Amino acid sequence: MLPSYVPLVQLAEVRQSTSGRWARQVPARGEPEQVPAQWHRIVTLLADISLFIGTRSVWSIAASSRLTIAAIISVCYASILVTGVLTLVVRRSRSLARLDLVVLVTAVTLVYCAVAVAHDFNDESILTTQAAHQLLDGRPMYGQPWPWLFGGNIPYTATVTGGYDFTYGYPPLLAILTAPLLWLGHTALPTTLVTTTALAAGTVAMWRMLPVPWRSAATMVCLGFGMIPAYARLGYPAVVALAFLIPVVMRWTRMGTGGRADWARAACLGAACASQQLPWFLTPFLLAGVYALRRGEVGARGAAVAVGRIAGTAAGTWLLINAYFVVTEPRTWIAGIALPLTQGAVIHGQGLVDISLYFTDGSDRLSWYSHASMLLAAGLLAVFVFFVRRLGPAATVLPWCAFFLATRSQDGYYLLMTPLWVAAAVTVPPSAFANAWQPRLLHGRRTARTVLAAALLAPSLAAAAVAATGGPPLHMQAVGASRTATTLNTLTVRVSNPGDSPLEPHFTVTTGQGMGLYWTILGGPASVPGHATATYRLQPPGGHWDLPRKGARIRLRAFTPSPVTLSSQDIRLPRENDRAR
């Protein structure tokens, strides 16, 4: 489905693909065949090498139960090895271009082999599959908790209220595409097949639209390294969004010039926004860049018309995909697609929140991480507008910087969109922004421009500092336990609240990164009043908790929902059957 957009987008690129610096390496009749550039060989070789990563684990699974798949993977190993040799010895550009195609076909084959043997449920795929069933049955898809789906190895999304989010919280396109494939069975295969096919199609689209010497870069960043294919096998909606965004960002500086390619790009942008929420953060940067580029050519009115045409087409596509839900369940639909911004999930990730989660004992100002993230997104957009001639080529990278300050600062928010970085880097040179419009307020004054950029970003940094320098609002101490030599059955904790406001704690115990399930409160008040102390008796999930090895770090955590806070304390478990004093 996705590659059908590619010819439309390429109509506006015909002249560029046959002349100029990105010309195809195909000699005219009667001319000698070109010798491949050494960097072209290296790009192809790196893409070929990247296919090794993660392939052995897939082969190991297949060799024990799916021998046909294992045999296909072994053939792919041979393809990788032979291609590696030929990449370094072929003498014609046309031959190397054919090897680029071999690398692509090998990568796609390996991706589908992995799907065939590894398509177990996770939280993303199980929610999407259930949403697709709801859609087929004519029942509401949003706002419906499905706690029975979770258990075993399915991860939970914990919230600061002491519970978990069991509802579907994404735009509907992936569920719509999954619904017709539910006949394949009751596994995650329908969802993972959609996301993997979207990834493969997006890769093919990027491969076709890139200049010939760069084509293997598409294979490498989309299908190599084992990163994004793993997310596709987990059924992440962001993979579908990525596939639709690839035709958008390829030579995106030509958006707004009119023609069928313009309409196709705008439609793809709308479909991406109807797939997952990450494209919502990229869209303002693209529209601001298009406005600056077109205003430099046709003036303010013409630029506004161009941007309005793109935005209108994208919004129309988005609304068309969402129309059924707008009509049948408008309130739960709008709450569902906004859920990642409103659900109050506990802090997690590889960003600045780690200061409060791991390096200190918590913070009584966790909400300021969210404020910092939104302020940084707004600040980066403003800086982009003021300095578009310099920052224009980074339009596909800047939006994701804001997530480093967010409360959910997971690396998936960064790496899932990295193919867009490459697509823009190859097809959007800095020279494209030479005549772009930007405010002339501080034109020619370097020091003043630096001060302006710092002023636009300072609020986000200040908010991040407020969050990171907060202290734990609760002081906790383990004072009793019911345990055996290997398990903990209950834990008694004394909690002090030195502040003025009452706090409602929800407890968990961890021995590593992340957060486990909440522990049940068997005894203790609903909240700890200000300047008071309370004692809680806690029970682990399932009734018992396996004790870690001797010397392991045991960390007791308490989240409160209003205000959103985290208190953490390393504890030493009392001896067997110790009682609280």
CA distances from 376 to 218, 301, 404, 565 (A): 30, 29, 10, 22
pLDDT band for 528, please (50, 70, 90 cuts): very high
Q: What is the pLDDT of residue 445?
A: 73
| Arithmetic mean of pLDDT, 115-121 | 87
Q: What is the pLDDT of residue 512?
A: 79
Q: Which parts of 364-439 are beta strand (E)?
A: 408-409
| Arithmetic mean of pLDDT, 145-154 | 86
Tell me the C-alpha distance between 254 and 45, whole Å.
Answer: 31
Q: Write the pLDDT tens digit of every residue in 9-64.
A: 544 444 444 333 434 444 555 455 688 899 999 999 999 999 999 999 999 999 98
Q: What is the pLDDT of residue 493?
A: 94
- Which residues touch 446 (CB under 8 Å, ≥6 apart)? none
For helices 55-65 and 93-117, give the axis angle rounded to 10 degrees.
50
Tell me the C-alpha distance between 22 and 14, whole Å.
Answer: 11
Kindly report whether the global pTM for this prediction surpasses the value 0.75.
yes
More confident residue, 467 or 411: 467
Contact at 8 Å (CB) between 381 and 285? yes
Pull the structure tokens for residue 317. Answer: 């596509």
Parallel, antiparallel or unpaired: strands 408-409 and 348-349: parallel
Q: What is the pLDDT of residue 212?
A: 95
Q: What is the pLDDT of residue 363?
A: 95
Q: What is the pLDDT of residue 364?
A: 94
**DSSP 8-state assignment for residue 158:** B
Q: Which runs of consecutive H residues, i.e. helices, occur in 487-551?
A: none
| Arithmetic mean of pLDDT, 151-159 | 84
Q: What is the pLDDT of residue 179?
A: 95
102-111, 380-389, 485-494 — which is least confidently predicted?
485-494
Q: What is the pLDDT of residue 576?
A: 59
Q: What is the pLDDT of residue 449?
A: 83
Contact at 8 Å (CB) between 537 and 490? yes
Average pLDDT score, the chain: 90
Res 134 pLDDT > 50: yes
| Arithmetic mean of pLDDT, 143-148 | 92
Q: What is the pLDDT of residue 223?
A: 96
Q: Where are the domains of the chain?
A: 347-471, 475-570
Tell me the C-alpha distance between 384 and 281, whole Å.
Answer: 13
Q: What is the pLDDT of residue 31?
A: 53
Q: Is 20 exposed, middle or buried (0-12, 13-18, 19+ CB in 10 A)?
A: exposed
Pull the structure tokens for residue 71. Answer: 């045999």
Among 228, 92, 161, residue whose Cα is nearest residue 565: 161
Q: Write the pLDDT tens digit of every residue in 209-263.
A: 999 999 999 999 999 998 899 999 999 999 999 999 999 999 999 999 988 999 9
Q: What is the pLDDT of residue 32?
A: 57
Res 287 pLDDT > 50: yes
Contact at 8 Å (CB) between 567 and 557? yes
Q: What is the pLDDT of residue 443?
A: 60
Q: Write the pLDDT tens digit of every residue in 453-502.
A: 999 999 999 999 999 999 999 999 999 888 888 889 999 999 999 999 99
- Please name the residue that has the structure tokens 């940094």: 461
Q: What is the pLDDT of residue 440?
A: 80
More confident residue, 454 or 550: 454
Long-range Cβ contacts of 377-383 (<8 Å, 24+ apart): 377/281, 377/402, 379/456, 379/457, 379/459, 379/460, 380/457, 381/284, 381/285, 381/288, 382/456, 383/453, 383/456, 383/457
Q: Is 418 helix (H, G, I), strand (E, B) or coil?
A: helix
Q: What is the pLDDT of residue 47?
A: 97
More confident residue, 512 or 341: 341
Domain 475-570 has CATH 2.60.40: yes
pLDDT band for 448, please (50, 70, 90 cuts): confident
Element (DSSP H or E) covering residue 482: strand 475-483
